[in-house]
Amino acid sequence: MGRLKIVHRICCGVDVHRDFIVACIATTDEKWVTEYQKHHFSTFKKGLKEFRDWLLANDCFDVCMESTGKYWFPVHNVLEAYEPTVDKPCKFNIVVSHPKYVKSIKGKKTDRRDAEWIADLFKFDIVRGSFIPPADIRQLRDLCRYYVKLISYMTGEKNRAQNCLTVSNFKLDSVFSNVFGKSASAIIDYILEHPGEKFDVTPLVDGRCKTPISQIQEAVDGEFHPMQAEKLKIIKQHMSDLEALKNNLEQLIFQLAKPYEAQINLLLTAPGMSERITAIRIIAEIGADMSVFESAKHLTSWAGLAPQNNESAGKKKTTRIGKAGDYIKPLLIQIAIAASRSKNHPEISNKYLALKKRRGGKKAHVAIARRLLTAIFHMLLKNEGYNAVLYRKAEKTPENRTLTPEQALSYLRKKGFVIVDNAPNEGAA
């Protein structure tokens, strides 16, 4: 029976907390005997520098820690900022692992034992590290995620404003496709400035509006309670402030994304990618260097778009996609929805319709999102724009291909056809 090979002869396992860290250096000699040194450090910058100096004094450059909330960031930042010197010419190899991969045994769990357990796992190189992008990508990711939060706040405020209109019997959502469009906003502002006044909506309605004026006039036959009117004013002011903040944040994002102009232009050639901010958000999540992922399949799995492997006793318990990719997965689904509706990319829309017949619309959108992420991986890896011909060739059936009846039926089912057996019943009279 073979044994595990020790890859890191000198390594460190770190158990990270808010106020302190517990570190354990595992040193393995030529006789395969491992000795442990454990130390407790503060998470203030002074304490983290002492931790770094302690590692350097022991010639330990391989460090592993679990991703505990945001508390691992200060430790990672201090180690990442170290510049090699003549005496210590190496940079730190920092591995940040998901807690499920370094989870200790229940009942024998202390901070010092946790650090030793992480060091033992890491010295055999059996700890799977998380994808940690470069520092500039991390900053871009932080701003883009805050941008998503601001959009979410604006959506919440729009819903609250709609509730104010509904409880006050203003049915603008029944006559306008967008309650916060030009015409509807002008009507709301007039109602708030002239409470209780009957007025003609004709001057306030844009000429391009297709709804009859008579219906709009009936829809504004409501009455604001004074408190509801004041609440709506506060909501509108908050929405205006959020819009200004979103625009300012967008400018910061564009400024920070300038070094990745070439990659952004490549992504804009992909189906469903119509806005520059969308391409930047993808770069912020997956980075611009695709060599960090082993293949496109690993990237789609990391993004939570691949089916799970959960098999026991020859039975598959579930094939649902994972929970990973809290930010990139919804974004790719939105792009997939836009691409499946586009007439400029029939290779995507036709594939979506074929999948929809067999698996339903939601699963079809997930499959299209996975296909688009695979295309994005190869676009960034090869530094080439989107090539629709490749997908059209893949969907095209060879002209000289001979199929058996079973293969022909399987091909028709994949294309969404339902096979019905209309053979006559031999037992019928």
* 287-309 confidence digits (pLDDT tens): 999 999 999 999 999 999 988 88
* 207 and 96 assigned to the same domain: no
Whether residue 67 lies inside any domain: the answer is yes
Question: Could you tell me if 270 and 154 lie in one domain?
Answer: no
Domain end position, chosen among 123, 150, 178: 123
Q: Given a cut of 70, is residue 423 above it in pLDDT? A: no
In this structure, the answer to whether residues 272 and 355 fall within a common structural domain is yes
Domain with 243 in it: what CATH number?
1.10.287
Asked, for residue 399, whether it belongs to a domain, the answer is no
The verdict on 218 and 244 lying in the same domain is yes
Residue 109 sits in the same domain as residue 15: yes
Q: Is the model's pLDDT at 422 over the cut of 80? A: no
In this prediction, residues 154-168 reach a mean pLDDT of 94
**Domain tally, the chain:** 3
Each residue's pLDDT tens digit, 130-144: 999 999 999 999 999
Same domain, 272 and 384: yes
Answer whether residue 427 is part of any domain: no
Mean pLDDT along residues 225-251: 95
Q: Is residue 2 part of a domain?
A: no
Residue 409 lies in a domain: no
| Contact between 280 and 170 (Cβ < 8 Å) | no
Last residue of a domain, one of 62, 91, 123: 123
296 and 365, same domain (yes or no): yes
Q: Could you list the residue range(s) of the whole structural domain that residue 20 is in?
A: 10-123
If asked whether residues 210 and 87 sit together in one domain, one would say: no
Same domain, 247 and 362: no
Same domain (yes/no): 234, 279 = no
* Assigned domain for 400 exists: no
Q: Last residue of a domain, which of 227, 242, 258?
A: 258
Q: How confident is the model at residue 364 (pLDDT cuts 50, 70, 90)?
A: very high
191 shares a domain with 150: yes
Is residue 5 assigned to a domain? Answer: no
Taking residues 84-102, what's their average pLDDT? 89
CATH code of the domain containing 32: 3.30.420.10
